[in-house]
């Protein structure tokens, strides 16, 4: 099955599922009630899936307890690539946490956000496709999270805190081949406590989509929307900041994922007062009014679906 992959807690814990498109048939790919399995990432050759696991009930709330796994797209060949810091024996690389695994477009490299012993800030690390031979990519005194690779000449993009503290604005940066990083967002209506994160280049490398949360703390009543940046520097709000109870996709629109044909972005979002959990949606980011193109992908499925890929 090559279509859309996501995780869902419909069985009581989080498992990985595949959905064929456009018919919407769903198949469960993992089945281990000891864990929450989440964050599926399809390999560039569409043969394998990477994902993270934590003990059941922790989900994506504690990455010191997260391990990294690989399987074929039909769920076979399940293999643990990296242990969690809290597992017996600890993590193979000595990382105190790791998460947000992403494939390089050539399928030969992976990038992670990681924690290091005795250091307060998360950094970025790159490994081979088996999650071995790590090398550090960043070392500055700031949090570095949410890395992903661009296509072609596009660099690694990530979010970095704008101050050496755990609370403050997050800005999207691009890692330069010769070292250092340049900001791609920020000063574009972010504000002192704006949060720009989960950046992803389109497959052709021409556009960047990311998640923006705005509000006094980035939590609570804040709004969450998907933003794009094109090579001309244009920025638009794709999801329209809909926060009313009659909006079809609610106030939280999260984790943009470009379709392999570039013309679509999939994401998970809430429907205020309707579902007890996220739903899966897609939109056309290049339409004149992208929020009017939003369509639900998981019609007829239970709620609680997230992290589409």
Q: In whole angstroms, what separates CA 227 from the centre of its chain?
A: 14
The DSSP output letter for 43 is: -
Q: What is the pLDDT of residue 165?
A: 45
The mean pLDDT value for 156-182 works out to: 75
Closest CA to 209 of 200, 196, 218, 217: 200
Q: What is the pLDDT of residue 229?
A: 57
Q: Which tokens sit at 177? A: 């081949």
Give the count of beta carbons closer than 10 Å to the beta carbon of residue 22: 8
Q: What is the pLDDT of residue 214?
A: 60
- What pLDDT, in 10s, does the model give residues 234-254? 545 555 443 223 344 445 778
Q: In which band, very low, low, confident or very high, does the pLDDT at 219 lie, cut at 50, 70 and 90?
A: very low
pTM equals 0.89
Q: Which tokens sit at 281? A: 């949606």
Q: Which residues contact 171 (CB under 8 A, 6 or more apart)?
A: 159, 160, 162, 183, 184, 185, 186, 190, 196
Which ranges of 37-163 does DSSP label H, i.e. alpha helix? none
- What pLDDT, in 10s, does the model give residues 47-62? 999 999 999 999 999 9
Tell me if 69 sits within 8 A of 50, measured CB to CB: yes
The mean pLDDT value for 196-210 works out to: 84
- What pLDDT, in 10s, does the model give residues 104-135? 999 999 999 999 999 999 999 999 999 999 99
More confident position, 270 or 30? 30
**φ, ψ at 180 (rounded to 5°):** 80, 175
């Amino acid at each position: 099955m090559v279509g859309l992959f996501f995780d869902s807690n419909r069985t009581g814990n989080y498992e990985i599922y595949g959905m064929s498109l456009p018919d919407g048939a769903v198949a469960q790919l993992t089945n281990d009630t000891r864990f929450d399995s989440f964050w599926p990432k399809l390999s560039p050759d569409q043969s394998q899936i990477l994902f993270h696991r934590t003990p059941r009930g922790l989900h994506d709330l504690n990455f010191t307890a997260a391990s990294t796994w690989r399987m074929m797209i039909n769920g076979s060949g399940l293999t643990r690539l990296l242990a969690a810091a809290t597992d017996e024996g600890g993590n193979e690389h000595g990382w105190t946490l790791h998460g947000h695994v992403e494939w390089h477009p050539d399928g030969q490299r992976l990038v992670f956000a990681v924690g290091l012993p005795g250091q307060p800030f998360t950094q970025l690390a790159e490994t081979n496709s088996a999650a071995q031979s790590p090398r550090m990519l960043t070392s500055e005194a700031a949090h570095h999270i949410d890395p992903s690779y661009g296509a072609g000449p596009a660099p690694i993009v990530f979010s970095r805190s704008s101050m050496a503290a755990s609370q403050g604005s997050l800005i999207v940066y691009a890692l330069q081949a010769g070292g250092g990083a340049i900001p791609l967002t920020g000063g574009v209506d972010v504000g002192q406590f704006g949060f720009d994160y989960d950046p992803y280049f389109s497959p052709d490398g021409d556009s960047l989509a990311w998640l923006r949360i705005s509000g006094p703390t980035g939590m609570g009543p804040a709004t969450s929307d998907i933003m794009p940046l094109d090579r001309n520097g244009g920025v638009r709000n794709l999801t329209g900041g809909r926060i009313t109870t009659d909006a079809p996709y609610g106030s939280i629109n999260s984790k943009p994922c470009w379709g392999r044909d570039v013309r679509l972005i999939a994401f998970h979002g809430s429907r205020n007062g309707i579902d007890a959990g996220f739903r899966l949606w897609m939109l056309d980011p290049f339409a004149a009014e992208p929020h009017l193109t939003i369509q639900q992908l998981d019609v007829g499925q239970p709620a609680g679906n997230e992290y589409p890929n």
